[in-house]
Structure 1
């Protein structure tokens, strides 16, 4: 029972987590559940949730490029002041001091290396024209990021920078269904505010139709476990019907082929 509750908490840090909701999940009364969890955790449930939010924030600050304004929402805070006060109370420094200082990060080592939000957001994106770079490989291996070397060379050749583009992976298969380890994978870039020369065989329309979007951030070695969790949640959604089609990773920054871990990813899965 405790592990089930902790999984729910860790997958819903961007939302309000109530004792009543946890009670619904477990079937225990709120009173009994709170006593049981406090005994198992060695602290109050509220304190545990707060610390998980802040430990996850520290993970984002140390290992991602996400802006502070976005991090606070991802871990369930509504404003900078309450987030800053809570973070400093636990870590003895401000969030920005923690991000900037490797020494401080060593003094307060990270306690989490994975983030998933299973609060799916239904959306219909505006289709965009992307420049694509075709590849095949194992979605769950860092070797698949080798294609981004080609992307980086192309961007440099046209005198642009990675910041001039949005960065996507187009996932043409679901290894959980096909059991294929070698799957089609396209790296894709969308220019921000300008057009690239037309190249019919090297471009594609992406994000057409309706999607449900989940967020996650982890090491590549954890992608298989993360995707299994997300797919399990999607299957249980009674109001969402998965449809055939490609899915997309939208990265917070261009992947580094040498170190692709801990990219913040919006995962778009096609739905009817």
Structure 2
């Protein structure tokens, strides 16, 4: 019985580790998740990975940090927290041991290097936080599209045309996406998406902001991946909320906050925060 079940359980534990790098990954917690004793789980993971649980987690944290440092412009202090380190010295030491240089040196060498076949192909954290967002106004460019199609980012073309003709600099604005529909209800080809820009460091006349969005309480998750993973990521996060938390969805739009410019960077490997409306 164990022979048949153990590989599936270990796969689930390894996936749990990858999706909770920012959280507490003690052996006791992992054992409770798996339904095994700590001793038994440690033995099974070592048989599978060839490494102790602690070293395996450390390696995954540093590999993922390298992935984020290479493909996003997230500050090193934030990357450190995203992979579960609270201490700068401990993070730098662990990073240097595995990668052979400091996080800062690595970023300088590898920034936006897309050839990272040895590193993870996605980052998704199920460690969320709750944020209350006030009602807000923004300049939006609505379109009807398929959220999961690789042409989805064509929705940003009208925004690009507007910015080309204006004096607004990309560095002075925040890029948001507003998701209006559930593809399972509306149909995947009939979903409205607003490419949305909001000032980050300048003031413009109020009449330029043509859409008012309702704020409220949101659960905020983060991910960074090839866009082909977007559908799987949204399903995984939604399932996690419904099955593993006490959160309840409420009516309202969800928002994507892009931490890199989606117009010039394209759809892949953008560090994204997903704001999901909850009660």
Mark yes or no: TM-score above 0.5: yes
Q: Distance in 1 between matches of 2:141 and 2:15?
A: 36
Partner of 2:204: 196
**Change in 2 beyond 3 A, CA 1:139/1:107:** closer
**Which of 256, 259, 263 pairs up with 2:266?**
259
Q: Distance in 1 between matches of 2:238 and 2:189?
A: 17
Moved over 6 A (4+): 105-108
Determine whether 1:77 maps to 2:85: yes
Partner of 2:64: 56
Map 1:232-243 onto structure 2 (within 5 A). Answer: 232-243=239-250
- Contact 1:58 1:110 (C-alpha < 8 Å) held by counterparts: no
What TM-score results when the alignment is normalised by the length of structure 1?
A: 0.91
- The farther-off stretch of 257-266 and 13-22 is 257-266
Q: Distance in 2 between matches of 1:126 and 1:79?
A: 32
* Other structure's SS at 2:60 match: helix
Partner of 1:155: 163
* Other structure's SS at 1:245 match: coil
**Which of 214, 239, 247 pairs up with 2:254?**
247
- Contact 1:128 1:190 (C-alpha < 8 Å) held by counterparts: no
CA-CA distance at 1:79 after TM superposition: 2.6
Q: Distance in 1 between matches of 2:114 and 2:233?
A: 27
* Other structure's SS at 1:185 match: strand
- Contact 2:160 2:263 (C-alpha < 8 Å) held by counterparts: no
* Other structure's SS at 1:101 match: helix
Partner of 2:49: 41
Q: Distance in 2 between matches of 1:174 and 1:38?
A: 41
Unaligned runs of 5+ in 2: 1-8
What TM-score results when the alignment is normalised by the length of structure 2?
A: 0.89
Map 1:166-181 onto structure 2 (within 5 A). Answer: 166-181=174-189
* Other structure's SS at 1:112 match: coil
* Other structure's SS at 2:262 match: coil
CA RMSD of aligned residues (A): 2.2
CA-CA distance at 1:136 after TM superposition: 1.5
Partner of 2:25: 17
* Other structure's SS at 1:97 match: helix
Partner of 1:227: 234
Map 1:63-212 onto structure 2 (within 5 A). Answer: 63-102=71-110, 110-199=118-207, 203-206=210-213, 208-212=215-219
Q: Distance in 1 between matches of 2:278 and 2:174?
A: 23
* Other structure's SS at 1:14 match: coil
Determine whether 1:270 maps to 2:258: no
